[in-house]
Chain A
Amino acid sequence: MDGFLGINIARKALETSQYGLDTTAHNIANANTPGYSKQRVILGTTEPFPAPAYNRPMLQGMLGTGVQVKSIERVRDSYFDGQIRKENQSQGYWETKDNTLKQIETIVNEPSDSSLQNLMSEFWNSWQTLSKNTESRSARSSMLENGRMLATAFNQLNSKLSSLRDNLNDQVSTTVSEVNDIAKRLAELNHNILETKSFGVQPNDAMDERDMLIDQLSKIMDIQVTDLSNSVTVVTVGGSQLVTGYGYNELEVVPNGANNGYYDIKWKVNNAALNVNGGDLKSLLDSRDTLVPGYRAELDTLANELVTQVNAVHNTGYGLDGVTGYDFFTGTSAITIALSTDVDNNPGHIAAAGTAPVAPATTPAPGDNAVALKLAQMKDTKFAIGVPPTTGTLDDYYRSFVANLGINSQESGRMVENGQSYVDLIEQHRQSVSGVSLDEEATNMVKFQRAYEAAARIISVFDQMLDTLINQMGR
Chain B
Amino acid sequence: MRITPNMLMNRMLGDVSSTYNRLSKYQTQLSSGKRYERPSDNPISVKQGLNVRSTMASIDQYVSNIDSALSWNKTAETAYTSATDLLQRAKELAVKGANGNYPASDMIIIGKEVDQILADMVSLGNAQYDGRYIFAGTQTTTKPFTYVPEVAGPPIVPASVTYNGNSGTMSYEIEKGVTIPVNIPGNIAFKGSADPANDSAYKVLIDLRDHLNLGDHAAVSNDTSQIDLAMNNMSDAVTSIGASVNRLELVRDRQDQEQLNLKSMLSDLEDVDFADIVTRIKNEETAYQAALTAGSMSIQTSLMDFLK
Which A residues fall within an 8 A CB radius of B?
31-32, 101-102, 105-106, 108, 110-111, 117-118, 120-122, 124-125, 128-129, 131-133, 135, 353, 355, 358, 365-370, 373, 376-377, 379-380, 395, 399-400, 402-410, 413, 424, 427-429, 431-433, 435-440, 442-443, 445-446
Contact = CB atoms under 8 A, between A and B. Distances in A.
Contact of A125 (B57, B68, B139, B304): B57
A377 B303 contact: no
Given A132-B65, A135-B140, A399-B51, A407 B173 contact: no
A373 B173 contact: yes
B49 interface: yes
Contacts of B302: 438-439, 442
6 contacts: A128-B65, A402-B46, A406-B38, A406-B39, A438-B5, A443-B303
Nearest to B131: A135
Interface stretch (B115-123, B153-161, B163-171, B221-229): B163-171
Contacts of A437: 2-5
Given A367-B138, A431-B6, A436-B4, A409 B61 contact: no
Contact of A403 (B46, B64, B179): B46
A355 B49 contact: no
A355 to B, nearest CB: 7
Contact of B39 (A128, A403, A435): A403
Interface residues of B, number: 54
B125 interface: no
Contacts of B166: 358, 365
Contacts of A135: 132, 140-141
A339 to B, nearest CB: 22
A404 B132 CA distance: 48
B300 interface: no
Contact of B138 (A120, A365, A433): A365
Interface string B52-68: 01100110110011001
A419 to B, nearest CB: 15
B7 A435 contact: yes
B47 interface: yes
Given A121-B54, A367-B140, A432 B43 contact: no
Nearest to A408: B40
A432 B2 contact: yes
A372 to B, nearest CB: 10
A280 to B, nearest CB: 20
Nearest to B269: A111
Given A32-B6, A410-B40, A437-B2, 16 more contacts: A110-B50, A124-B58, A125-B57, A132-B65, A365-B138, A365-B168, A366-B139, A367-B170, A377-B173, A380-B177, A402-B43, A409-B40, A429-B1, A432-B4, A435-B4, A438-B303
B171 A403 contact: no
A368 B303 contact: no
Contacts, number: 177
A406 B139 contact: no
A366 B164 CA distance: 13
B149 interface: no
Given A431-B6, A432-B4, A380 B176 contact: yes
A443 B132 CA distance: 99
Q: Is the interface of A mostly helix, strand, loop or mixed?
A: helix
B192 interface: no
B141 A399 contact: no
A442 B132 contact: no
Interface in B108-149: 130, 132, 136-141
B14 to A, nearest CB: 7
B53 A121 contact: yes
Contacts of B64: 128-129
B64 to A, nearest CB: 8
Contact of A402 (B1, B39, B170): B39
A365 B139 contact: yes
Given A128-B61, A128-B65, A442-B307, A111 B6 contact: no
B175 to A, nearest CB: 10
A118 B57 CA distance: 8
A437 B46 CA distance: 49
A35 to B, nearest CB: 12
A402 B54 CA distance: 14
Contacts of A101: 40
B194 interface: no
Contacts of B304: 438, 442
A143 to B, nearest CB: 13
Nearest to A446: B307
A395 B47 CA distance: 11
A403 B44 contact: yes
A121 B57 contact: yes
B102 interface: no
A313 to B, nearest CB: 14
Contacts of A409: 38-40
B274 interface: no
B46 A368 contact: no
Contact of B58 (A125, A129, A405, A433): A125
Q: Which 7 A-B pairs have the closest CB atoms?
A: A406-B39, A406-B43, A367-B140, A365-B138, A409-B40, A435-B4, A403-B47
A408 B46 CA distance: 14
Interface in B270-308: 270, 302-304, 307
A380 B57 CA distance: 13
Contact of A132 (B3, B11, B53, B172): B172
A377 B61 CA distance: 12
B306 to A, nearest CB: 9
Contacts of B4: 431-432, 435-438, 440
A400 B47 CA distance: 7
Given A122-B57, A403-B47, A442-B303, A433 B2 contact: yes
Contacts of B44: 403
A246 B96 CA distance: 126
